[in-house]
Structure 1
Amino acid sequence: MNAKLITRGGYNQLKEEHDYLWQKKRPEITKIVSWAASLGDRSENADYTQNKRLLRQIDRRIRYLRKRLFDLTIVDYSPQQDGHVFFGAWVEIENEQGDIKRFRIVGSDEIYERKDYISIDSPMAKALLKKQVDDEVEVSTPDGIKLWFINLIRYSQVDAETSIKNNH
C-alpha cells in the first residue's frame, strides 16, 4: 500500500520543520559558512568544513520535505468514522493473556520518535481497518498469527475540531 496519507497535525509538524529549516536554520548556517570562507584557506578550516556539511544536510532535508509535503494527502477526521477503525484512530487492543496496547494509526511520516503511533502500512493497522469494538482481529507476525480484541476506538477531539473548521 505504502500510503502517502498524513493527519493534519502530522502535516503541520512537517511544514513547521520545513519553515524552520528554510527561514531560520539555513540562513544562520549560511552566514557561518560565508564568514568561515572569508578567512582564507578552506582546506584546514574546521568551521567551514563542518558547517558546509551541515548546510548540505539541511538542503537535503528541505528538498525532501518540499517534495513530500506536495505528495502527501491530508486525512481529516469525519464523524462517519466513529465506531470503526480508520486512519487517525486511537485504538486499544487486548490479547487473550490480558496484554493491552494503545496506539494511533497514522502515516509513515508520523511514527518517528512516537512509541504510541503505528503506520497505516503495518500488518497490525491493516488487520484493524474497518473493524469495530469487540471485534476479534488476527494479525500475521513473524511468530505466527496473533489474536487481538478491540476494546476501544476513538478519534482525537483536536482532529474533530480541525475537521469542522476546515469543512466550514
Structure 2
Amino acid sequence: MDRPNYITPAGYAALKAEYDALFATERPALVETISWAAGNGDRSENGDYIYGRKRLREIDRRLGFLARRMKAAKVVDPARHPDRSRAWFGATVTIVDEDERERTLTLVGDDEADAARGRIGWNAPLARALRGAAIGDLRRVTLPAGEREYEVTAIAYPAIA
C-alpha cells in the first residue's frame, strides 16, 4: 500500500467483528453444507454443492481482503488529537456551500465511509480538500458534479473517553 490505512478504533472493531463472524461462524457452516452436498453423489448437477463452493470462494476472498486491511490499518483515536482547531482525521466538520446548503461530515477511514450517514473516507476528494482547514476557511473542491466552494463553519472532535 502506498498510503496508510487510517481507521478509528470503532472502525477497526467493525472490520474485526466481520472477519471473526465469517471465519468462526459462516465459513464452517458452509464447509459442512458442501461436505454434505458432496456426499450426495453427482456434483455437476448438485445446486447445494455448486452454490456452496461459489460462496466459499467469495468468503475466502473477503477474509483475505479483511486480513490485509487490518494488517495495514493504523488505528487513530480522534478524541486524542492535540490540534482541535483544524479538521484532521476523525473530525466532524460542518460546511456551507455557495448555495447556503449546510452539511455535516465526519472524516473517517476509507473502510468505514458511509455517505448516507455523513461519514466520508479520508482519501475522498472532499475530505482531502478539508484536511487542515480551520473555521472560516474556504475550500474549493472538484467533484463529479463540478467544482464547488465550501466554507468551514464548525469543527468538533469526540470527547475523550
In the superposition, the TM-score normalised over structure 1's length comes to 0.86
Mean CA deviation greater in 78-87 or 53-62: 78-87
Alignment match, 2:72: 71
Alignment of 1:125-164 (within 5 A): 125-142=127-144, 144-157=146-159, 160-161=160-161
Mean CA deviation greater in 113-122 or 129-138: 113-122
Gaps spanning 5+ residues in structure 2: where?
A: none
Alignment match, 2:86: 84
The CA deviation at 1:31 is 0.7
**Hey, what's the Cα distance between the residues in 1 that align with 2:143 and 2:58?**
36
Instruction: Figure out how many residues of one structure are paired with residues of the other and give that number.
Output: 159
The CA deviation at 1:137 is 1.7
* Percent sequence identity over aligned pairs: 34
Contact kept, 8 Å, 1:5 with 1:72, in 2: the verdict is yes
Alignment match, 1:21: 22
Sort the Cα spacing of 1:114 and 1:30 in 2 relative to 1 into closer, same or farther, 3 A.
Answer: farther
The CA deviation at 1:114 is 4.4
Report the AA paired with residue 27 of structure 1.
P
Gaps spanning 5+ residues in structure 1: where?
A: 162-168
In the superposition, the TM-score normalised over structure 2's length comes to 0.90
The CA deviation at 1:81 is 2.9
Moved over 6 A (4+): none
Alignment match, 1:43: 44
**Hey, what's the Cα distance between the residues in 2 that align with 1:112 and 1:136?**
24
> RMSD of the TM alignment (CA)?
1.8
Report the AA paired with residue 139 of structure 2.
V
